[in-house]
Amino acid sequence: MTTKSPQTVLITGANRGLGYETAKTLKQLGLRVILSARDTIKGQEAADKLAVEFLPLDVSNTTSISQAAKKYQSLFGNTLDILINNAGIFPDTNDQASILETSPELIHQALLTNTTGPMLVTQHFLPYLENSSDPSKARIINLSSKLGQLSSMQATAPAYSISKTALNALTRQQSAALATKNICVNAVSPGWVRTDMGGKHADLSVTEGADSIIWLATQAPSTLTGAFIRNRKQIEW
Residues that bind ligand NAP (CB under 6 A): 12-13, 15-19, 37-39, 42, 58-60, 86-89, 113, 143, 145, 190, 192-193, 195-198, 202
Minimum distance from CB of 57 to ligand NAP (Å)?
6
> Kindly report the CA angle at 219 between 211 and 147, in degrees rounded to 5?
40
Alpha-carbon distance of 157 to 177, in angstroms, equals 30
Minimum distance from CB of 58 to ligand NAP (Å)?
4
Closest CA to 117 of 67, 186, 167: 167
**CA end-to-end distance (rounded Å), the chain:** 46
Closest CA to 43 of 23, 63, 26: 23
Identify which of residues 87 and 126 has a Cβ nearer to ligand NAP in the complex. Answer: 87
Minimum distance from CB of 166 to ligand NAP (Å)?
13
Do 80 and 125 meet the contact criterion of CB atoms below 8 Å apart? yes
Alpha-carbon distance of 130 to 80, in angstroms, equals 8
Identify which of residues 158 and 190 has a Cβ nearer to ligand NAP in the complex. Answer: 190
Minimum distance from CB of 10 to ligand NAP (Å)?
12
Whole-number Cα distances in Å, 37 to 90, 161, 209, 235: 17, 23, 20, 29
Alpha-carbon distance of 132 to 139, in angstroms, equals 10
Identify which of residues 85 and 132 has a Cβ nearer to ligand NAP in the complex. Answer: 85
H or E stretch covering 229 = strand 228-230
Identify which of residues 184 and 193 has a Cβ nearer to ligand NAP in the complex. Answer: 193
Identify which of residues 80 and 87 has a Cβ nearer to ligand NAP in the complex. Answer: 87
Minimum distance from CB of 75 to ligand NAP (Å)?
18
